[in-house]
Amino acid sequence: MKLVILDRDGVINQDSPQYIKSPAEWKPIPGSLEAIARLNRAGYQVVVATNQSGIGRGIFDMDTLNAIHDKMMKALFAVGGRIDAIFYCPHPADSDCDCRKPRPGLFRQIAERFNIPLEKTPSVGDSLRDLQASAAAGCLPMLVLTGKGQETHAAGDLPENTLEFAHLAAAVDHILGGEA
């Protein structure tokens, strides 16, 4: 099975320091939905692993998160793409859970659900915690410079073997180019 793991905010859609709290605030980054559709057409399953501490903080509820994800899925469907599963951590940053990135719990859940090892699985994020969780799970960390990506790049101290790309479409070009 071919699999790619994506962070949501800052990779697929525009990010906000105040969180994406409603479907109206969810806006795709240009080219990201088409990039996911290209992965699907190439036989990849695409999974989202996202911290959503707004739930634990009471900023939005599960119905709102589901509505945001419904909007994302419909937008993807419109361009011929799909997300095969969404894994999220609802806990606030001060929680001691294993699922909040930079911990690899969400990645372990993905490996268990799909019954596959994650070694060298491409994992695309825009923050250091995305890359750290990816590396801890044995994935291939890929930084995009959208969202918080430029700040993450500037801060340095990235996990070993992290690849960097301007945006998700460029990361997908690399992933698909590696198959030729």
Taking domain 8-171, whether its CATH number is 3.40.50.1000 is answered by: yes
pLDDT value of position 18? 87
Quick check: 143 and 11 in contact, CB under 8 A? no
CA-to-CA distance for 71 and 22, rounded, in angstroms? 10
Residue from 9, 15, 126, 130 carrying the catalytic annotation: 9
Helix (H, G, I), strand (E, B), or coil: what is residue 176? Answer: helix
pLDDT of amino acid 180: 42
pTM over 0.75: yes
- Amino acid in position 99: C
Each residue's pLDDT expressed in tens, for the chain with a length of 180 residues:
899 999 999 999 999 988 999 999 999 999 999 999 999 999 999 999 999 999 999 999 999 999 999 999 999 999 999 999 999 999 998 889 999 999 999 999 999 999 999 999 999 999 999 999 999 999 999 999 999 999 999 999 999 999 999 999 999 999 999 664
Q: Tell me if residue 9 is catalytic.
A: yes
Q: Would you give the DSSP letter of residue 106?
A: H
pLDDT of 178 reads: 66
Predicted local distance difference test score (pLDDT) of residue 179: 61
Annotated catalytic residue: which of 7, 15, 126, 130?
7
Per-domain boundaries in the chain: 8-171
Q: Which residues sit opposite 20 in a β-bridge?
A: none
Our answer to whether residue 84 is catalytic in this structure is no
C-beta of residue 103 within 8 angstroms of C-beta of residue 59: no
Angstrom distance (rounded) from CA 135 to CA 137: 5
